[in-house]
Structure 1
């Protein structure tokens, strides 16, 4: 996942305008072009987890102001990007390879019990929300696997 899925352009714009900032100010603070920030505001994309984290850190906009409410069916990748983290960041905190995090987010790997507290804190969600995301990830994997077994494209 290359961008923050739950990014809220209206919340983002309102937050930087309340700070008295322009798109140019935000762009300069995080090292992108003003056109990039403009595309985010016009719903033509969303920041990557790295840039999302930079907005929160360097511009001072709380992540919660730039996100839509967490969907009930949010999966692990959504939780990670909402936290402004890359798979490499999570892997480092868990002491595993980024490919292990990728497998977990695809539903092919399993979240170990000893990771639950760390992931809950990293993603700033409750243990119950993390468990729901694990289940949503597994459900999507099973649906994709079953579709492949039947020779049908996933989602159809």
Structure 2
């Protein structure tokens, strides 16, 4: 499972301390262990989308306060994980199969036009940024494909 790439350990610690919670408090609230939460806070790991969303809720902060700046070349999977969503969550929102989301994020499947507005809302990004992420995903697929072909 993909971790939240842009997770900000400093922002996380700041939010935890502001909430007056220990590592153990946060771990218990989200169904994890203090050691795991401590690794996130020290920058030696990052939460899964599910635990990221649960952490923001437990700390009563917006997800954005636990993230670094969004890279201009972020791909679709990065947008999803930053929103604290699993592929299954996105599939449910679009009434499609998780495999459709997986293929879209790998660049092997398309993104239907009617998905754009929904995705931009649940990923909490502009439609323009969503389209840039789509282009970045497709460019990454082309790079991998060309590398396998020896070009």
TM-score by length of 2: 0.96
Distance in 2 separating the partners of 1:51 and 1:33: 11
Runs of 5+ unmatched residues, structure 2: none
Report the 3-state secondary structure (helix = DSSP H, G, I; strand = E; otherwise coil) of the residue aligned with 1:113.
coil
Greater CA deviation, 142-151 or 83-92?
Answer: 142-151
Write the deviation string for residues 74-95 of structure 1: whole angstroms up to 9, x where unpaired: 0000000000000001011111
Q: What's the offset of the Cα at 1:62?
A: 1.6
Q: Is it true that 1:132 corresponds to 2:132 in the alignment?
A: yes
Distance in 1 separating the partners of 2:82 and 2:128: 17
1:3 match: 3
1:90 match: 90
Write the deviation string for residues 106-139 of structure 1: whole angstroms up to 9, x where unpaired: 0011111100000000100000000000000001
Whether contact under 8 Å (1:15, 1:61) holds in the other structure is yes
Instruction: Report the RMSD for the aligned CA atoms in angstroms.
Output: 1.1
Runs of 5+ unmatched residues, structure 1: 152-156
- Runs of 4+ aligned structure 1 residues displaced above 4 Å come to none
The total of aligned residue pairs comes to 151
Q: What's the offset of the Cα at 1:59?
A: 2.7
Q: What's the offset of the Cα at 1:18?
A: 1.2
2:61 match: 61
